[in-house]
Amino acid sequence: LSVVALISGGGSNLQALIDAQAAGLPIRIVAVISNRADAPGLDRARHHGIPAEILSHRDYPDRETYDADLQRLIDRHDPGLVVLAGFMRILTPEFVNHYRGRMFNIHPSLLPKFRGLHTHQRALDADETEHGASVHFVTAELDGGPIILQARVPVLPEDDAATLAARVLEQEHRIYPAAVGWFAEGRLKLGEDGRPWLDGEP
């Protein structure tokens, strides 16, 4: 399965997918695209000989024209799956619909709780005893697509946003390759009814 990964920052989820590919996950990351030229994740791609491309949103007047060029750039690689891995941009419905059923995102909360930003601090402020991460199909609703796989972690009394984020991130690196692997094996798809369809036992 050919995969294009979109990043904006550190790329630790990208690294998890690169490592999983090296360990035999039936994927080939054919390109990494970042909206920020200074994203450290670009060096992770370069280090593994993966084409690292930059499409800076600063060069565009609006979201529509940016997304249209981003789509052209992605489609040059003809991926079977697009993964958002710390990609910090809101995508237009047209762009999202073009990749319906073949675009994943990972979000650091137990969706539908805590959509949006600063999820760890918000979980602490809400006195949650559990928190976690979610892999979901991307739809036009921000952080709202059908959930594929989640991981739960305990919130400990001594936690702050940083310690909680680290515990969640560790799980992200586990569930993202798992979900991508199911898709690569043809076991997972987005049903016509908008619900994920997984054959056999996870």
Q: How far is the CB of 39 from ligand GRF (least distance, A)?
A: 8
**Binding residue per annotation — 63?**
yes
Candidates 175, 199, 202; CA nearest to 187 is 199
Q: How far is the CB of 114 from ligand GRF (least distance, A)?
A: 11
DSSP-based three-state secondary structure for 51: coil
C-beta of residue 78 within 8 angstroms of C-beta of residue 1 = no
Catalytic residue among 48, 77, 98, 107: 107
Residues 87-93: contacts with CB under 8 Å, at least 24 apart: 87/6, 87/7, 87/8, 87/35, 88/8, 88/9, 88/35, 89/8, 89/35, 89/57, 90/63, 90/142, 91/63, 91/67, 91/138, 92/63, 92/64, 92/67, 93/140
Q: Is 118 a catalytic residue?
A: no
Stretch that binds ligand GRF, among 9-17, 20-28, 49-57, 136-144 (CB under 6 A): 9-17
Residue 92 binds to ligand GRF (criterion: CB under 6 A): no
Residue 11 binds to ligand GRF (criterion: CB under 6 A): yes
Stretch that binds ligand GRF, among 4-12, 26-34, 46-54, 58-66 (CB under 6 A): 4-12
Task: Locate 88 and state its tokens.
Answer: 């910090």
Task: Locate 68 and state its tokens.
Answer: 């249209």
Identity of the residue, 116 or 202, whose beta carbon is nearer to ligand GRF in the bound complex: 116
Residue 85 binds to ligand GRF (criterion: CB under 6 A): yes
Residue 108 binds to ligand GRF (criterion: CB under 6 A): yes
Residue 12 binds to ligand GRF (criterion: CB under 6 A): yes
Candidates 91, 77, 93, 103; CA nearest to 188 is 103
What is the C-alpha to C-alpha distance for residues 7 and 1, in angstroms, rounded to an integer?
19
Only one residue has tokens 């280090």, namely 47
How many residues of this chain interact with ligand GRF, rule: CB under 6 A? Answer: 15
Q: Using CB positions, name the residue nearest to ligand GRF.
A: 86
- Please report, as residue ranges, which positions from 138 to 197 form the binding site for ligand GRF (by CB under 6 A): 169, 172
Candidates 20, 64, 55; CA nearest to 34 is 55
Identity of the residue, 68 or 142, whose beta carbon is nearer to ligand GRF in the bound complex: 142
Give the residue numbers annotated as catalytic, written as ranges.
Answer: 107
Which positions touch ligand GRF (CB under 6 A)?
7, 9-14, 41, 85-86, 106-108, 169, 172
